[in-house]
């Protein structure tokens, strides 16, 4: 059982809380938590604050140890944790990225309306369920890759899918890092990691991964929404949430063994062994980044492959090309990743290793990393909620650039363990409740449905309201699900 956080907690305003650096032993910087009163109570209960304080003790941390309003207890870092480390003096930690490396979400817009889709919705969802493999260990991807082709995926990410005719240049432009994190090197990957990667490209997986057909419920900023391709309530969108599958899990597992030894070798004191890490510039640190980048690129290629299959199903069901149906990518964002970025620190631009673990990049206007077509307003931010409520499209802000290294929340965040959820309701009960709301559901396993029931998650409206109120991202549109596919 983890220790409890017993240090000071200071309320800054309606959306921010401080864990002062002198409030707990070993903290090098403050902790800052974004939450309202009710969300903060939940964050305290599951002991995510202890993890925020632990991260504040790590060498080379720059600025505060951060937690987003969807934060909850995780491995090493809290899920919803953000921290930046000086490249020269700081560390890189697998616990600050997570097991599902580049678990992320992409959103497609369409020119279809709910009125046009409803009569064909059951067929549409059924065909997608057939076309996109899902479930634990699903291994019917784009065809088992050769080792040579796999290495190309790991180095080029979405660029490999472009070469295979499963992506367009516009798709790459609308993907964070253009779907390829530089610095990937497959040469040191374990044989087990390679074996897990070979059959799973373009598969959804299980757990909290999903594919949803949604309808635009409300538009908050018509100008920004229009730039993102969202024009009116009733418009159909599609959301795909998944990551690097068993491959990313294995990369993390392998790295933790190396990092535990490295922390001892470099004399790094850890308040929690799950924060095993190495200096960014060390051989172990460089190796982890190179392998993590492989998994990140695999995840982007994975989501691109799924999107390609979804487009094909829409073409089949509506008997028109996906281009005529307007099935264009709005954006794709990573949730679990460490990246080298330049940010101002005390008036000087510094290169930092920014860990986002269950958090989304939310770069504001003008940053060159934001696609040119969005640069004047900022980066699209996609925030999925639970399968019975809503998801959001947000936009990054200057406030996020100043306060959070350009970061915001990544979803609703769990408030109930999977075991507790399964004790509370059966999968059949959840499916019946969703049907009463007009939401179709297809799932590979009813146990996953129970684990992922809406009550297992925090109120996404409240989470997003905190981000909007604090100014670290702004509301653009709200979407509600009408059809859900789960592993």
Which residue numbers are catalytic?
410
Alpha-carbon gap, residue 360 to 107, rounded angstroms: 14
Alpha-carbon gap, residue 58 to 274, rounded angstroms: 12
Q: Is the dihedral of CA 453, 457, 459, 463 positive or negative?
A: negative
Say if CB 96 and CB 355 are below 8 A apart: yes
Pairing of strands 474-486, 440-443: parallel
Alpha-carbon gap, residue 317 to 319, rounded angstroms: 6
Alpha-carbon gap, residue 80 to 85, rounded angstroms: 17
Alpha helix segments (H runs only) across 61-211: 114-117, 121-131, 147-156, 158-163, 169-173, 191-197
Ranges assigned E (strand) in 301-378: 328-334, 336-345, 348-357, 360-361
Alpha-carbon gap, residue 367 to 397, rounded angstroms: 10
Alpha-carbon gap, residue 397 to 264, rounded angstroms: 40
Please give the full DSSP string across 40-97, using - where no structure is assigned.
HHHHHHTTHHHHHHHHTTSTTEEEEEEEEEEEE--SSSPEEEEEEEETTT-EE-GGGT
Please return the burial class of 256, using the count of CB atoms within 10 Å of its CB with bins 0-12, 13-18 and 19+: buried
64 token code pair: 């505060």
Alpha-carbon gap, residue 17 to 57, rounded angstroms: 18
Please return the burial class of 257, using the count of CB atoms within 10 Å of its CB with bins 0-12, 13-18 and 19+: exposed
Q: Which residue has the tokens 């798709």?
A: 171
Say if CB 466 and CB 408 are below 8 A apart: no
Say if CB 366 and CB 429 are below 8 A apart: no
* Nearest residue to 238 via CA among 413, 377, 117, 369: 117
480 Cβ neighbours under 8 A, 6+ residues apart: 214, 215, 217, 389, 390, 391
Q: Which residue has the tokens 């907690």?
A: 9
* Nearest residue to 359 via CA among 14, 29, 34: 34
- The DSSP call for residue 440 is E
């Amino acid at each position: 059982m983890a220790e409890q956080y017993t240090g000071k907690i200071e309320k800054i305003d309606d959306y921010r809380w401080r864990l002062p650096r002198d409030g707990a032993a070993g903290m090098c910087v403050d902790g800052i938590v974004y939450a309202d009163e009710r969300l903060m109570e939940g964050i305290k209960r599951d002991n995510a604050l202890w993890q925020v304080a632990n991260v504040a003790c790590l060498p080379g941390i720059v600025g505060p140890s951060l937690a987003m309003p969807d934060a909850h207890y995780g491995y090493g870092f809290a899920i919803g944790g953000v921290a930046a480390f000086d490249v020269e003096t700081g560390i890189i930690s697998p616990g600050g990225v997570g097991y599902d490396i580049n678990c992320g979400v992409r959103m497609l817009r369409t020119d279809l309306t709910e009125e046009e889709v409803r009569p064909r919705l059951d067929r549409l969802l059924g065909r997608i369920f057939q076309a996109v493999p899902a479930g634990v260990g699903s291994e019917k991807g784009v065809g088992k890759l050769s080792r040579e082709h796999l290495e190309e995926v790991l180095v080029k990410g979405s660029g490999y899918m472009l070469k295979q005719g499963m992506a367009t240049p516009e798709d790459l432009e609308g993907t964070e890092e253009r779907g390829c994190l530089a610095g990937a090197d497959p040469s040191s990957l374990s044989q087990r990691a390679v074996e897990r990667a070979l059959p799973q490209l373009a598969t959804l997986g299980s757990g909290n991964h999903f594919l949803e057909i949604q309808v635009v419920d409300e538009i908050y900023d018509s100008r920004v929404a229009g730039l993102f391709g969202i024009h009116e309530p009733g418009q159909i969108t599609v959301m795909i949430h998944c990551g690097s599958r068993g491959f990313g899990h294995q990369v993390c597992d392998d790295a933790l063994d190396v990092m535990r030894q490295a922390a001892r070798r470099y004399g790094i004191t850890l308040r929690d062994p799950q924060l095993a890490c190495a200096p960014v510039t060390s051989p172990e640190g460089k190796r982890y980044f190179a392998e993590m980048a492989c998994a990140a690129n695999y995840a982007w290629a994975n989501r691109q492959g799924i999107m390609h299959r979804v487009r094909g199903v829409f073409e089949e069901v509506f008997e028109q090309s996906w281009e005529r149906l307007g099935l264009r990518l709005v954006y794709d964002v990573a949730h679990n990743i460490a990246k080298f970025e330049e940010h101002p620190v005390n008036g000087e631009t510094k290169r930092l290793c920014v860990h986002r673990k269950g958090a989304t990049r939310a770069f504001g206007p003008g940053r060159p990393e934001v696609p040119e077509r969005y640069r004047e307003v900022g980066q699209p931010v996609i925030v999925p909620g639970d399968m019975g409520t809503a998801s959001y499209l947000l936009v990054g802000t200057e406030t996020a650039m100043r306060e959070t290294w350009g970061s915001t929340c990544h979803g609703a965040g769990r408030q109930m363990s999977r075991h507790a959820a399964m004790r509370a309701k059966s999968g059949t009960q959840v499916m019946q409740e969703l049907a009463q709301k007009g939401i179709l559901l297809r799932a590979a396993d009813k146990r996953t449905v129970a684990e992922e029931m809406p009550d297992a998650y925090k109120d996404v409206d409240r989470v997003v309201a905190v981000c909007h109120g604090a100014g670290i991202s702004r509301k653009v549109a709200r979407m509600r699900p009408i059809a859900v596919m789960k592993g």
